[in-house]
Every structure is written in C-alpha cells, then in structure tokens.
Structure 1
C-alpha cells in the first residue's frame, strides 16, 4: 500500500496510491527532501518517519512505498489489513490514483467493501456480524480523492463543474438489481456510507515526461505553474481542514496513543481476531488512566513536600493543605483520564491519596514528637541534673523543685512549632521522671506525712490534667479527620459528577453527529436507488450485504508483515525521532 501518513498536531493523513511516481512534495516533506523511488518494481520498501522541529508544530510524517497488488508478501489479505489500519488510524484518508475516476479505479479500491469484515466497532459484535455503518463513521476519517495527471475538462451537461462535483457524479449509483449493477454500485455505496465527508482534487502532469524520472531533483521553477498552484490549494486544504484524530469520548490521538492503538490492532490481527475500536480505546484507557493515577500521586507528593513544613502547629493546618493539593491532583487526573468504567482508577487514586495522607500524618506526629522530646530535654535537662547532684535534697527542696518545674513547663508551652504531639510528649517525658520526683518528695524531711500526701495529690492532679489534654487532643484530631474525609468525599462526588456530565455531553454530541451523517447517507442512497432495491432501511444501510468474506491469511505471516511496516512508524512518532527502514 503506497501511503504517506502525516501527523500534524494529532492530524494523521494516510495517502493511498498504486505507484509512487508522484509525491505531494510540499505536503509530505518539501521539494526534493524525501525520495521513495519511481521505478517498478519499487526500490523502496517499508516506512519512513520524519519528525520535524518544534518550529514546524512538532509534526511527524511517514512515507511508505509498498503498493497495492505488489509482490512483497504475495498475499492480498495483507493489503486489506493495511487498508483497514490506515482507516482506523487516520483522521484524513487521501486516496490518489492516476487519470480519471472510472470503473477500474473503483475496482482497485475494492478494499473499502471489505471493511466490515476487517474491523469491529464494538467488542460485543460477533465476528461475522454485519455492521451498521453508523458504528464506523463515528471514528472513520474524512475521504480525499486526488487524481494525478488529470487531463479531462471538468464539465457536466456542457456546464463547468468543480472537482467535488466530479467525484459526486462518479459515485452515483445505478438503478437495478442485477449482478452487474450490484457490482457497479458496491464500492460506490461503501464510499458513500463509510465516508460522508468527501473531497476531490485534480493535478495536471507536474512537468514534461522527460523530467518525470528525476522529478525530485527538478528545480521548482521548471515545475508546471498550474501544478504548483494545484498543490498549494491541496496542501492548504489538508493542513487547515484535517481534523485532529479523535476517538470515542473526544480522545485526541498523540504519538504514544498512536503506538498503543497500532499494537492493540496488530495483536488482534495476529491472534486471528478483528481489530476492535472499542477494545483499543479500553486498552488505551487502562494504560493512560493508570499513568494518570501515578502522575496525580506524583503531583500530590511533590506539592506536599514543597509546601508542608513539619511539624505543623495544628492538624487542621495539615488537612487544609492536603485538601487543596488533593483537589489539584484529582482535577489533574480527571483531565487526563477517560473511559474510567465504574470509576475504578479514580477509586484507586483516592485510596492512594488517603494512604498518602495517613503517611504524612504519621510523619507529622513523628516530627512533632522528635522536636518536642529534644525541646523537653533542653529545657528540663538541667533541672534533673540538679536533682541528681542533690541540689534539692534539703528541707523545702521538693517545693522549690515543683516551683522550678512549673516555670519550665510554662517555658515549654510558650515555645512555637511544637506540633500536635506537644501534650503527649510532655506526658511521656514527665511519666519517665516519676521515680525521681517521688524520691525527692520522700527525702524532704521538712514535710510532714500529711503534707507529703497533699503534694502527691497535687502532682497527680497535674499529671491528670496533662492526660486529659492528651485525650482532648486525640478526640479533636479524630473529629478533624472525620470532617476532612466528609469534605474530601463531597468534593470527589462533585468532580465525578462534573466529569460524567462532560462525558455525557460528549457522547450526545457524537450520537447527533453520527445520526446526522447516517441520515445524509440514507437520504442520498434512497434518492438514487429504485424502490425494488431499497427493501428497507436496514438492507440499504448494511454494507455487509454487498460484501463477501475472504479467508484471512496466516496470522503469523500477517503479524510479521504488519509489524515490519507499522511499528517503526509509531515508535518514531511516539518518541519524536527519525526512522528509515
């Protein structure tokens, strides 16, 4: 299959022809920049991908020079698969042929009649089930027919017509129900059904015959001016009207997505199955949704690491930051995700975000505990060193110790940025010093037994007060965590509802577009065919009734052939590189 595939901001154009004598130079790569050969048999095999610079809008263009009916593999089924893949992967399908549109040109485009046997739109469809063309037109490319070395006058009924009208006249169906008429209508009906958006361009011979062999080296001034003007018009139309390749759900195709689609389609072919657009989109969704989860988590971790200063003074400070960053992460995921059936990946994201929050809470508690313990040792260390040295081992020493300890506790409370473990750490520290406190109390001979009991009660009251503060803080933290989860859940539901509404609106727009195209085709066909042919709408619309199933070739041979042509192309597009093969 001779083809030129042009990747331009998501726009992929496939050009199909029978001989690589004429290349649309200014469209594919500029005059004389790329040569695929003009001899027969072809000197060039395989595909080339040309990645342009960012100044050229990051385009990637591929070129192939294995024509229909070639002896590369000796199997026409390979051409059928390549044609089907070109249709599946392109946003604009450019079919170029020599001369006029006649029955021979139509017969050579018979691959279009086999599309229903080479492609599935839905995974639920049976292998041999006839497809409604409406399933296909939602993702099929626009169709552009270019006619090289065109020599006719564009006239109809002695009136001048444009190239588009010439194409439309050439696609008119004949009335009748005999075998010859069915054969005549078959390809034309399929083109009308599958490609409602059609365009035609004609090109004069680019130069005198003696120059054609060396056309790539021919100076531009020696190229026929009218031909140059026609090429300008063609290129201008393609680059301005070619749509971004879009899948169901408004998913635009970029380089990595193109690679995934090709791998999915080729694997289906090699396994003896049919390429299924729905399965390909779901496979693509699984890959990209998984990546979207990881990117969202990475964003969350990065933002939290940059903005969070541990320990936080309160748990609310941490939770407020978490909520803001979590919302950014979820919105980023929503932007990148698609076809998240039953919100499987969103649920995974929420589980991971909740686990990350728990981890940051643990880090916050540890940072607070470590800081407070260091602070307590700095503040109380000298006091207990004096206790060990016997400074307070004298009459009235215990009350002096208690007064000094209270002063240090006040100093501890006044210290900033202790975090949420301030009371808990103080309690643990004081609990670890109970034996020293009791020994000092018992050693104070100035106190009576009754006074000692009073002091013990006072100390125990202080400990109880600290313990109550710890319990209050724990209760407060639990309430704040519960409140945070409620707010987070509410925000998730709002974002999910917004995403579902966007997808619903996108789906409704796609359905309306498909129905509009379907009605156009049906009205066009029914206005041409006789009542004896149009038995009912279903029979008119089902192209499968006009198609004959052909046995597929060896899966291994097909896989090798398709992979050898397509994988270098998509890997280069995905990586932005330049490949020749």
Structure 2
C-alpha cells in the first residue's frame, strides 16, 4: 500500500463469531500484505458504549469510519482495522484497531484483550467518570484473575513481560472532577499516578489486597503510561448523533482535549516491534495475527482467565514456530545431503540450532525452551532420516552403474570356465575398489556395499561350483590323455604327441618361407612399376607412342618379369 493512499473505510481484522470463535478475515490480511512499511499500531479497549470508536475516527482524521452505535448492544464484534498514512512519520502506516467492548455478556473478553496487547504498540484504555476502584476492576477483569495467580511468579517476571506490553494511555471520558490535590493543581499524569498508589502494608487484609492488586499489575506491566481526561462532548440528547454534530455544537473544551490527545498519539506512539528489535511491517502484522489466532483456536493455549498467562503461552508458541522455521530453513540451505558422515550433519545441526535458539530467546518468555527443543529434535531426526535415504539411493545407483560390466560378463558366460571363480573374485574386488574411490557416498556407504555383496553370494557360490566341476573334468581328460589305460600307452601317446608337434612346426616353417618369397616378389614388382612410371612421365608423346608399339610387338614377357600394361 502506497503511503499516499489508505483504506476508505475500516474492515474487520479478527471476527468474534458464536459458531467458530475467533477468525482472521482474509480481506484484512490482503490489505496488510500490501503494506511493506513499518506500522504504528494503536488499539483501544474498554467497556462497551463508552465512545471508543469516536476517538479512533478522530485519530484517522475522519468523523466517520468505525461504527459508533447508539444502542445498548455493542456494534464492534471482534477487532476492526483501519490503515491510514501516518500524519507525522513519513514512510510509516498508522494502523488503528477498534475492539469490542469489555463486559459484554454475549462473549468472552479474554482473548480479544490478549490479542489487542499482542498486536498493538500503543494501547488506549477508555473508561468513564473517574479512575476509581471500579475502573481498576474493569481493566483487571479480562487479564488478571487472582484465582489463576500462582504466588507472586507473574509479578516477579514483570521485567520480561514488559517487553511484550504496549504503551498505555488511559482516556477518562466524561471527567467531572477538578485536577487538584491538597489545594494545588495537578496534571493528568499526576492524577493517574495518584490513583495507582498502593495502600501501605502487606498484611492479609482482603480489602487491601483487592485494592492493591490491579494497581500493582498496571504499575509493573505498563511502566510507560499516560493519562488524558475528556469532558462530556455534548448534551446527553446529542450524544447519539455525535459523529453528525458540527464543530460549533461540540464542547470546545472537549475538542481541545481531543486535539491534544491525537497529537500525542501521532507524535509519540512508537512503531510496532517484537522482542529482539524486529520492526513489524503491515505484512508481518497480518502473519502475527494469523499465528496468534491459530494458536488460540488449536487449543495449544488453555482457556485461561489470566490474559498475562495466555499472552505468554501464545507468544511462546509463535516464537517456537518462528525459531523452528528458521532452523529448518538454515538446515535446508546448508546441508548438502548426503553428508560424508553423521558427525558433519550433527555439527551443522548445532550451528543452525544455536542461531534459531538466539531468535527464540530474544522473543519468548516464561517456560518455552523445552517445547522449542523438542520440535527442533523432531526436525533434526527427519534431516537424519533424509540424509540416510539420500546416501542409500546414491550408493545403490553407484553400485548399479559399476556392476553393469560385471553383469554382462556373467551373462556372456565369461566365468563359466575352469578358473572362472578366481576371475570373478578379481573383477568383483576391482568393482569394490572403484566404489570406495567415489566421493560423497554418505553415511550408508558401507551398509549398502554389504547389502550388495550379500546379494551376490548365491551367484558367487554357483560360479564356484561350476568352476570346480569344470576343473575336475579337465583333470580327468588330461589324465586319460597323458596316462591312458597303461603306462606304455601313455608313453606311446606322448611320443605321438611330440611327433605331431614337430610336424606342425615344420609345416609352420614352410608356410613362413613361402610367405616370405611371395612378399619378395611383390616388392620387386612394385619397384619395377615405379621405374616404368618415372620413364613414362619423362618421355614425349612420340616416344610414348613408339614405346607402346614396341610393347605390342612383344609376344611375351621374359621369365620372372611382370607384363607391363599398355599406356593407352
């Protein structure tokens, strides 16, 4: 979304439905996905029918937008969103969140309040009248219940929780008191701090505990806080049409207070961040909202009355998801499967886990490290399994390629001879040596090789049996040939064999001499033809004709000479 454009009207970001509970609306996510700028998220909460929507419309620079409503029933079901260009921060978008009122008997306030805290950078609490015990209890109700509080643990962790809490602005509507103490004028902020003071003593008096508890929570969890008071904007009969009133029909004091309030919000409200210093854009805000709602809907967070505990659970779940996703992405980028050995994969795992853990620790709080570690271990186990599978497939393919020649020699019967088994073993050993020379086989290299050799055992045994059978037959034939039935016959056979060998040697000698003679004749003929060619090249046309005549008159060539072909 470009900075010079904005939404013409608000849209529902998180709908609170009776049937499905909390649902993130896709049209709102689509709007946020286009906002790449940092966002300043200002949300408002408080009792329904206290004029929250009017203040949010003014922050948007408009009179209309968020529905004001004029009946007892709350108009805002869930959380509505309005994105506008930030009036004081160039390059930023102002995201306004209007929440349904607290105290509506038709719904559960806890999750709406938790999501408001998680998504906003500034939280406006809108109350009416004065800051009294009733106002404190109304703020305390959705997020701090003494029945869920385990000793002082949550307060002891306040420094960590503060990282997740927005700036608090307390807006007191229809304020009727004079800002004075002991006869001296005090500021709105001083009025708030006076109202938040604790009663002395830490005894077991129930009344004191009830008084101090909400104040103690606000002081610790909202260290950055401010107060604005507003007079009644118009007469009671005109309040129902407040958005239609002209400026001269609205209380001037109220108008000045609203302008002061808006200026402060615009100038002082910080951009939305999450622990670790990560600045949130509109696109990321939509993803945060989706993650938080999915966590609530999945049942991963118990339905707690204490929003503080729920906030911890939801934020930890989101932190775990983000950190585990980072670990998975880092492993996928850096792990070249298969690794040469398991140690290489484990070292890479340690590096990626450490980076993911740093991200998790920067964002999470309370107890969440065990859940993070268990999920990382599950992802690591899958990488180890994938690593083994990649190694297995690569080694199987390598042995398949290397064994092609061996398989062909087997099918051709190369080893089906006497001595074939030794030849087979030599060829198979050569294959194994080539296999071990191949790089990048991975952790299953030896196991796959043993599986391959085991699968060849039956074949090797068959070749060995054939070898033995043929070798035995050769021995029998030689024995019969050389020994015969008696020793004399054996000697006679040997003499005949030697004589036959001598005759074959003489025959081979004769053939060699004849071959040599023919080769000599051929060389003589080639030499004579070469001489004739040289003469023919040098003679004139007349000499050539005379030479041809002479050749034609010759009836035959002298003995031992080759007849010369005619030149013409």
Bigger CA radius of gyration: 2
TM-score (norm 2): 0.50
TM-score (norm 1): 0.49
